[in-house]
Structure 1
């Protein structure tokens, strides 16, 4: 059976919302995205539509040189590689394609942040926070089962996944836009300060 990989990208952007989440949870990482390519050229998540407006969230494509990441030099984070079958990869991509085709159908789950603080397992149709979305794709494609309600998954929770942390440090160095010719992904963890 053919194997391939998907990548969970965890980060802690220095935004008001991220700082608030950190203040409440003390989690190292406050944002999660998923990428289907080793180079992390395109990531998918839920977050703010406009970089300077934290009150309008949605499904979005992300890249390290756009949005809230543009113009910052240091982005603490980690990349987890999950080995998957081609069938799982195709199913996850099929689920993602629905978001790409009908992005207006999906909204940011603001109430989910409150539910999460109170540990209420409440999922709202077509509404997601970043980690809930990543888990939705991974769980419904048979890649990952963390045994909790999707709305209770935090970015930090993904560190429990059976995958390899292939990068930890400044995510700006993990991006092909910023990194040198050297491939940073090896079989061991690479820590870049």
Structure 2
């Protein structure tokens, strides 16, 4: 058996605040990692620390970039234990996307329509939870209750298959897990 890690966060960026205003969800962003130390960790998010655009597939780090400068934000870390073949299939799907990461863009329209429960799928466009959900669904790591393009980060709080490892803020997560 192998573990896949999901990190849910709620930052104080404009986009996160807008998502929270509409959804009132505890968490507004999700990232995926295949390593216990959460490095590398991937999502569909801002490419630069101080600008919400451009956005796309990116490696999120605790040592530099957004999380390094915003360690006060709330987070929850979950673990999904899967069979080895499922783990490697999910990792292969991620690596296939990463090999063409420059072709992927942020699915802003999909994010808006997700709240309205209207499926909107475009090739090479993702928002964070759509990106993570597609990897997990296509690898058969977890059975989703709805399409990947309709999944929100907070939906992951409802999965019994996920084990909550930590809830607090990024700074304490780094200390607790010895991540940096």
Q: What's the TM-score, normalizing by structure 2?
A: 0.93
Distance in 2 (alpha carbons) for counterparts of 1:150 and 1:73: 28
Aligned residues: 177
Q: What's the TM-score, normalizing by structure 1?
A: 0.87
Q: Is the 8 A contact 1:64 1:172 kept in 2?
A: no
Corresponding residue to 2:60 among 53, 59, 62: 62
Distance in 1 (alpha carbons) for counterparts of 2:2 and 2:87: 7
How do 1:70-85 and structure 2 match up within 5 A?
Answer: 70-85=68-83
2:136 corresponds to: 138
Larger helix fraction of residues: 2
RMSD: 1.4
1:163 corresponds to: 162
Q: Is the 8 A contact 2:32 2:43 kept in 1?
A: yes
Structure 1 residue 89: deviation in Å? 0.6
Corresponding residue to 1:44 among 42, 53, 57: 42
Structure whose CA Rg is larger? 1
Structure 1 residue 172: deviation in Å? 2.3
Distance in 2 (alpha carbons) for counterparts of 1:82 and 1:127: 25
Q: Is the 8 A contact 1:13 1:69 kept in 2?
A: no
1:153 corresponds to: 151
2:98 corresponds to: 100
Structure 1 residue 137: deviation in Å? 0.6
1:89 corresponds to: 87
**After the TM superposition, which of the residue ranges 35-44 and 88-97 deviates more from structure 2?**
35-44
2:8 corresponds to: 10
Per-residue CA distance 1:74-131 (angstroms, 9 max, x = gap): 1201011000110001001100111221111211101112211321012111110000
Q: Is the 8 A contact 2:78 2:162 kept in 1?
A: yes
1:173 corresponds to: 172
Distance in 2 (alpha carbons) for counterparts of 1:99 and 1:150: 16
Structure 1 residue 64: deviation in Å? 1.7
